Structure formats: structure tokens, C-alpha cells
Structure 1
């Protein structure tokens, strides 16, 4: 790739509706939270339910313990990031959602979009992140 700045990709902000469209198919994203020892980022399978992200983890997982530490009925602030980057072309996009995550009740689980984790084993702790902030950036050729 030439070092000429005119040949480089351009970075632009993505509007909220386009961010939601990009992440709508679900897949893999990363949950960022404070686990008591500092910032932690864990990849998870997810689905989109309106402007919320639904993901699952193991009941014994560090993330479950950290996200359950809130006041009952309350939410823990987390960030969630999804991206698709093509390193060969140096193009792609990244979407960041921030808001409160809370465990889903049995009733909520039945009425939300299903999410199937890739790893084997029981993932019985379901969470929903209601996004209060959604932002994104796209890297593309001129």
C-alpha cells in the first residue's frame, strides 16, 4: 500500500439507524464491563431485539457474577462493540453501543430473539443491554 495520504481510507461517522442495520444479523460482539479488577472485554454471540442486544453466558462466568452485582431490578453499565474489518483493503466498520445491562427473567427470555452460543456447555445466564448510546464509524476508500 502506498504511503501517499490520498490513497488512504477515509473515516466517517455512521448514523444510528445504519449502525442498527449493520449489527441486525447478530453474530459475534464484545461486551466490555468492569469486573472489579478493571476493564474486561469478553466476546459473545448476540442477537438484536429492537435497540437492545441479547447475549448469554455461563452462570459461573466472571461476566455473569459482575453483571449480577447490581441492585436487584437495576442495570450495570456496559459497552458492546461489533465490527467487520477487511485488513487487506483497510476498509470496514465498527459500531459501539453503551447502556445498562440486566439479567432477563424467564418471561423475558421467551419473548426475546433467541441467541445460540457457539461454545459447548450450558449458557443459562441471559442478559439484555438496552442501548442509550449508539455510534459507529466506517473506514472506506474515497
Structure 2
């Protein structure tokens, strides 16, 4: 395939999207605060059809309170199939405060990579979930660095 062709893009089923969300722990959270977008990397867990994460006070917390609209995006590369994929969850966020929900969230495998106190548990309830997968262009076409993991499947 040359770089001027348009590769096939496959739509992922919702079940595939949930499976990918469940099998990963790092994503990017998009929020709007004071009228402008912000995006944050975060660790998350999936439980009972929603996404949960911990956060400290600050912009991320401010952007996720009071049923705020948010988006969570994860992506990756499968070297066995030579396909890249992306999943986007759009939903409403709210702080978890009810003791039963706090207990359920604390039972999830939520282990933030960054240290510090993260006293706020946030839940994202899904409004829409979508994903796509597509074959990755051969690395030599774009002069991909040797360190790029996509190269190994072509060698």
C-alpha cells in the first residue's frame, strides 16, 4: 500500500470497546474548564459499565463535577495483526460520595502512577462509546524510527 491510498477503517463493536477499556489502565481525559478544553493522562478502572478514576483537587476535578460532559480516549497497536486502534468514551462525570459506591470503587484495581493524595473518586457514566481499528502503514513509508514497536512486525 502506498501512502496516498486510504486504508480500510473498521468500526469496533461496543463489546470490543469495553474489552479494550477493561484491558488497559491509562487513558486521556478531556474536560472543559472555564470555557476551554484541557486533557489529562490518567489511570482508570472499569466497573459495572462505567469508568472510575482518582484525582486530587485542581483543574481535573473542577472539570468533572456536577455531571460535566467529558471524553476518555485510549489507543494502542497490536503487533500481531499490524493494526492500530482507538476507543473514545463520551459521558458524564460525577464525584462518588455515597458510601456503597465508594466501597465498590475502592474494590476496583485503581492504582495511580503518580504519587500524592488523590482523595476524590470520579465516575464516568457512558453516553456513547465508539472505536475503530485500521491497518498501519509500513514503517519505511514514513521513515519510522528503529525504536518504534511497529517496525518489528515488518522485519
Whether TM exceeds 0.5 here: the answer is yes
Deviation, structure 1 residue 4: 6.5
Corresponding residue of 2:53: 55
Larger radius of gyration: 2
3-state SS of the aligned residue for 2:20? helix
Taking structure 1 as the reference length, the TM-score comes to: 0.82
Structure 2 partner of 1:96: 88
**Contiguous gaps of at least 5 residues in structure 1:** none
Equivalent of 2:61 in 53, 59, 64: 64
Q: 5 Å matches for 1:6-21?
A: 9-21=7-19
Structure 2 spans left out of the alignment, 5+ residues: 137-155
The TM-score normalised by the length of structure 2 is: 0.75
Partner-residue secondary structure (3-state), 1:137: strand
- Which residue of structure 1 lines up, in the alignment, with residue 102 of structure 2? 109
Query: Which has a greater percent of strand?
Result: 1
Q: CA RMSD in A?
A: 2.3
Separation in 1, partners of 2:43, 2:98: 19
| Residues in 2 aligned to 1:58 and 1:66: alpha-carbon distance in whole angstroms | 12
Provide the residue aligned with 1:40 in structure 2: 38
Q: Is the 8 A contact 1:104 1:126 kept in 2?
A: yes
Paired residues, what number?
Answer: 132
Q: 1:77 and 2:77 equivalent?
A: no
For the residue of structure 2 that corresponds to 1:21, the secondary structure is helix
Q: Distance in 2 between matches of 1:31 and 1:3?
A: 31
Following superposition, the deviation at residue 103 of structure 1 comes to: 0.2
Instruction: Give the direction of change, closer, same or farther, for the CA distance of 1:3–1:26 in structure 2 (3 Å limit).
Output: closer
